[in-house]
A and B are shown apart, each in its own frame.
Chain A
């Protein structure tokens, strides 16, 4: 069966991104001296994919291509948007950053594009096998990207650790798919929850779903499958961490939403309780451990574990408010976390040592702009209005309370207070500490532009959340 034209237009963003990846590799091979062409092409490819994804935002989610293997519509488009934003920000941040670390490696941008293709495939999956395909494409790119700073021990450690543990998690996921197939006789996601009713071997299905869940929880970095997160996010080049922690996380959550749909979670209360427990533990552990960190990147890594918990709370809700909340949260989290890592990449020592809290002391004197941007990201991560991070939390907790998981919302808000402590510590040092000295702020106009755009978007979406909500409303 050859793909029809409508099939191809359905996956236009995917084709664009993957195609650009190939072009970037070729350009790198043919025009070795030209360093600006690769990133510019990458940006163009991602921007083009975004424009192709936009019109489909209002579409009903049911339409399918490639015989049901690919789903199109609002859900896929929204996630494509998130992935492209994450990719765009990371590429802008990487320009001249990654060059100082490993000169003359054009495949970096191709790998980012390939990872984005994988993510798009995950969010567009209409079948577990397609989902797995996307996941592997993304993960393999991540493994290489994490170890991209070859000269650094930490980067190598990050790559190896991520690869070994990631391969293990992939095994779980694949085995889960096999068991689900064994129990239901199909890997198609369409009509998945309804097929699970009245099965002869519910245990087999439950085991398969549990394994699938473990694999996904590993990818989102939820406790107790979070061990890799701090080391990998800290060791990987900062711009890669920005990319993995936003786009990668969002892609894994798209898996949660298409596999563990509200309908499935409601028919499987045991699974739902497990997710709720994992969400709660992630919020508590991530936030509490983040308090004790001295390295800013490591703090952000632990905080990302906590944020995985908040987003999982939206999955637990299994209602429209919760699911829409997850989408809103992922977009705002992409902006604020890429922004936060972006600021770190601007402040870092070029020698590769980790940025500590103390090095940020007195930053508001040295660079008022970067300090103000950091403050925006920190307040947004802490969930203080009027930034988008607050509204994401509000929406997710609205879903959880409505679903009767009020205790989870209470755990969440209490842990937000803990998180405010460590986010504010950075603000305290930057603004309330007048000691001179410290690292000079790197001058990288593209990186700075990315961070500024992210901050403006956070304020805009915070004050007018309806801009985003209008887009998420048609996704389910």
Chain B
């Protein structure tokens, strides 16, 4: 059973979606329970995976490989390293929480909703497991369908615009990546004794040798697709719309997991496949990351809508992740990985909290609130903890990630200048400004609005949703070693390989790989 654990995790939500689809339309309680149950089984399996995963190894583990489309050399090839492990656990952790969070707020077309959430989970898990570019692409695109419906059917006022924008934006990016994937495959075929392949592990050995003139285009195609997903400034414009319009659980999944697919893609594909192009572009990408940090923070500051504020804060937080990735140091990459998890937890929790107050008041405008700490002390306390984690208070999770990223980029020999870290660190301060300021406006002062005075505090279900997240917020803050230990060997191996590549090219006369026959030439 252990050798098929990844497939088990992947197919559990799929099976759940199928079972839910077969249930009667009106059995809403049953539908919710079955959906939750399947997502909990997936969670249990991934906890098991976490325990059996060998953190001392940096290579791929739990590999399963089954031929799928022999004509194109495509196989069902899944496997994980420490980086994907953490993201898989995050996904299976957030899905039941998201389902539980929408226990009462979603009433229409419940069956479709639960089934789509499970499909979304499966698609996302597939993205993090796939070790074949074709398989990866299938999951990557497939997960658009459930998310599109979740935003479009259960979203807010402007949901149609947001759903279509989300779909088209992502598809535009990923289709260019598809061309690049095909190109990589036929490049492999053009080498002496080669065959068309999209197998990632095989391409790891081949791709860095792609001539620079072409490697750049491959890198850009992949990066463009991932940058839209992350999103990296200036490709972020779909995000506020999608986040604000999506239902609470949709936002949790979107911010918590889907955005990580972009940064994961950068780590898993862009760095190891196209190292030379990465060296060339990393100052710009790190720069864009910093622009995102500052820009996201400033725009957050002026948002009248709390949900929009949280959405823009994602742009800022993911800017840190991008900076950490392109610092190409062990600390930076480790920081990015843990920051991905942190952002999933704290932004997910923030969206949940915003959803809870919206369920009560049906408004999200900061000016409509005031003095909420008095009628809702428990809510205020949870909000405080999550907010502080988002700001990066030492002792909570956010600090660990940001600290490592800043450390890594400060020391990075690839960036070559401490100024990246210095400018980025202002983002931490700005985060404190916009979050604390909005906290003050919402929770302190007089309870001016009469509707606020009689607001009920959090229910047991709502507390049950938040407690697990807060638990991990503190855990990672106090003892991040549990999680960093799992990904350390993998990040180390990746950075080591990149360092080797650079040293190898320095030893050779030129920075660029040699020119071979291109598959792009007509034959």
A431–B72 CA distance with the chains assembled, in angstroms: 36
Given known A-B contacts A394-B182, A432-B153, A404 and B520 have beta carbons under 8 A apart: yes
Q: Which residue of A lies closest to B154 (CB)?
A: A432
Contact status A402-B519, CB under 8 Å: yes
A424–B71 CA distance with the chains assembled, in angstroms: 31
Given known A-B contacts A384-B142, A410-B179, A420-B171, A469 and B152 have beta carbons under 8 A apart: no
Given known A-B contacts A385-B138, A417-B172, A428-B160, A404 and B522 have beta carbons under 8 A apart: yes
A413 to chain B, nearest CB (A): 4
Is B501 in contact with chain A by the CB < 8 A criterion? no
Is B183 in contact with chain A by the CB < 8 A criterion? yes
A421: chain B residues within 8 A (beta carbon) = 164, 168
| In the complex, chain B residues 55-76 whose Cβ is within 8 Å of any chain A Cβ | 68-72
Q: Which residue of B lies closest to A418 (CB)?
A: B168
Contact status A384-B144, CB under 8 Å: yes
Is B243 in contact with chain A by the CB < 8 A criterion? no
Contact status B152-A428, CB under 8 Å: yes
Is B159 in contact with chain A by the CB < 8 A criterion? yes
B444 to chain A, nearest CB (A): 39
Contact with A along B150-186 (1 / 0, CB 8 A): 0011000001100110011001100110110011011
Is A40 in contact with chain B by the CB < 8 A criterion? no
Is B452 in contact with chain A by the CB < 8 A criterion? no
Task: Give which listed residue, A385, A398, A466, contacts B141 with CB less than 8 A.
Answer: A385
Contact with B along A408-441 (1 / 0, CB 8 A): 0110011011001100100010011100000000
A52: chain B residues within 8 A (beta carbon) = none
A401–B519 CA distance with the chains assembled, in angstroms: 8
Given known A-B contacts A390-B141, A394-B178, A428 and B71 have beta carbons under 8 A apart: no
Task: Give which listed residue, A386, A398, A414, A473, contacts B182 with CB less than 8 A.
Answer: A398
Contact status B72-A404, CB under 8 Å: no
| Interface, chain A (partner B; CB < 8 A) | 321, 324, 379, 384-386, 390, 394-395, 397-398, 401-404, 406, 409-410, 413-414, 416-417, 420-421, 424, 428, 431-433, 465-466, 469-470, 473
A394–B145 CA distance with the chains assembled, in angstroms: 18
A321–B182 CA distance with the chains assembled, in angstroms: 12
Q: Which residue of A lies closest to B521 (CB)?
A: A404
- Top 3 nearest A-B pairs (CB, nearest first) are A413-B175, A404-B522, A385-B138
Is B30 in contact with chain A by the CB < 8 A criterion? no
B182: chain A residues within 8 A (beta carbon) = 394, 397-398, 401-402, 409
Given known A-B contacts A385-B141, A402-B519, A432-B163, A397 and B179 have beta carbons under 8 A apart: yes
A-B contact count (CB 8 A): 99
A406: chain B residues within 8 A (beta carbon) = 179, 183, 520
| In the complex, chain B residues 501-523 whose Cβ is within 8 Å of any chain A Cβ | 519-523
A385–B127 CA distance with the chains assembled, in angstroms: 13
A410–B183 CA distance with the chains assembled, in angstroms: 11
Is B18 in contact with chain A by the CB < 8 A criterion? no
B326 to chain A, nearest CB (A): 26
A-B contact pairs, 25 of them (CB 8 A): A321-B72, A321-B196, A385-B142, A390-B138, A394-B134, A394-B182, A397-B182, A398-B72, A402-B182, A402-B186, A402-B519, A404-B519, A404-B522, A406-B183, A410-B176, A410-B179, A413-B179, A416-B171, A416-B175, A420-B167, A420-B171, A421-B164, A421-B168, A428-B164, A466-B69
Task: Give which listed residue, B134, B145, B149, contacts A384 with CB less than 8 A.
Answer: B145
Contact status A465-B520, CB under 8 Å: no
Contact status A465-B178, CB under 8 Å: no
B522: chain A residues within 8 A (beta carbon) = 403-404
A321–B183 CA distance with the chains assembled, in angstroms: 13
Contact status B160-A466, CB under 8 Å: no
B138: chain A residues within 8 A (beta carbon) = 385-386, 390
- For B68, B141, B142, B186, which residue has the most chain A Cβ atoms within 10 angstroms? B186
Q: Which residue of B lies closest to A384 (CB)?
A: B141
Contact status A431-B149, CB under 8 Å: yes
Contact status A413-B163, CB under 8 Å: no
Contact status A386-B172, CB under 8 Å: no
Query: What is the predominant secondary structure among interface residues of chain B facing chain A?
Result: helix
Contact status B152-A431, CB under 8 Å: yes
B342 to chain A, nearest CB (A): 31
Contact with A along B191-206 (1 / 0, CB 8 A): 0000010000000000
A420–B182 CA distance with the chains assembled, in angstroms: 21
A440–B521 CA distance with the chains assembled, in angstroms: 55
B186: chain A residues within 8 A (beta carbon) = 398, 401-402
Is B279 in contact with chain A by the CB < 8 A criterion? no
A428: chain B residues within 8 A (beta carbon) = 152, 160, 163-164
A440–B467 CA distance with the chains assembled, in angstroms: 49
Contact status B519-A424, CB under 8 Å: no
Task: Give which listed residue, B71, B137, B172, contacts A324 with CB less than 8 A.
Answer: B71
Is B455 in contact with chain A by the CB < 8 A criterion? no
A437 to chain B, nearest CB (A): 18
A402–B68 CA distance with the chains assembled, in angstroms: 21
A151 to chain B, nearest CB (A): 38
Q: Which residue of B lies closest to A469 (CB)?
A: B71
Contact status A420-B168, CB under 8 Å: yes
Contact with A along B25-61 (1 / 0, CB 8 A): 0000000000000000000000000000000000000
Contact status A424-B189, CB under 8 Å: no
Task: Give which listed residue, B142, B145, B159, B178, contacts A413 with CB less than 8 A.
Answer: B178
A404–B187 CA distance with the chains assembled, in angstroms: 11
B160: chain A residues within 8 A (beta carbon) = 428, 432-433
Given known A-B contacts A384-B144, A417-B172, A432-B160, A402 and B69 have beta carbons under 8 A apart: no
A409: chain B residues within 8 A (beta carbon) = 179, 182
A416–B172 CA distance with the chains assembled, in angstroms: 8
Task: Give which listed residue, A321, A379, A397, A433, contacts B178 with CB less than 8 A.
Answer: A397
- For B71, B153, B164, B522, which residue has the most chain A Cβ atoms within 10 angstroms? B71
A398: chain B residues within 8 A (beta carbon) = 72, 182, 185-186, 196
A394–B185 CA distance with the chains assembled, in angstroms: 12
A167–B182 CA distance with the chains assembled, in angstroms: 41
B196: chain A residues within 8 A (beta carbon) = 321, 398, 402
A467 to chain B, nearest CB (A): 10
A381–B71 CA distance with the chains assembled, in angstroms: 23
A465–B138 CA distance with the chains assembled, in angstroms: 13
A402: chain B residues within 8 A (beta carbon) = 182, 186, 189, 196, 519
Contact status B71-A466, CB under 8 Å: yes
A397 to chain B, nearest CB (A): 6
Task: Give which listed residue, A410, A413, A466, contacts B70 with CB less than 8 A.
Answer: A466
A11–B68 CA distance with the chains assembled, in angstroms: 35
B149: chain A residues within 8 A (beta carbon) = 431
A414: chain B residues within 8 A (beta carbon) = 172, 175-176
Given known A-B contacts A385-B137, A403-B522, A413-B175, A379 and B163 have beta carbons under 8 A apart: no
Q: Which residue of B lies closest to A403 (CB)?
A: B522
Known: A402-B182, A404-B522, A413-B178. 7 other contacts (CB 8 A): A394-B178, A398-B72, A398-B186, A398-B196, A401-B183, A413-B176, A417-B171
B158 to chain A, nearest CB (A): 11
Contact status B179-A401, CB under 8 Å: yes
Q: Which residue of A lies closest to B67 (CB)?
A: A466
A270 to chain B, nearest CB (A): 13
B291 to chain A, nearest CB (A): 26
A466: chain B residues within 8 A (beta carbon) = 68-71
B176: chain A residues within 8 A (beta carbon) = 410, 413-414
A403: chain B residues within 8 A (beta carbon) = 522-523
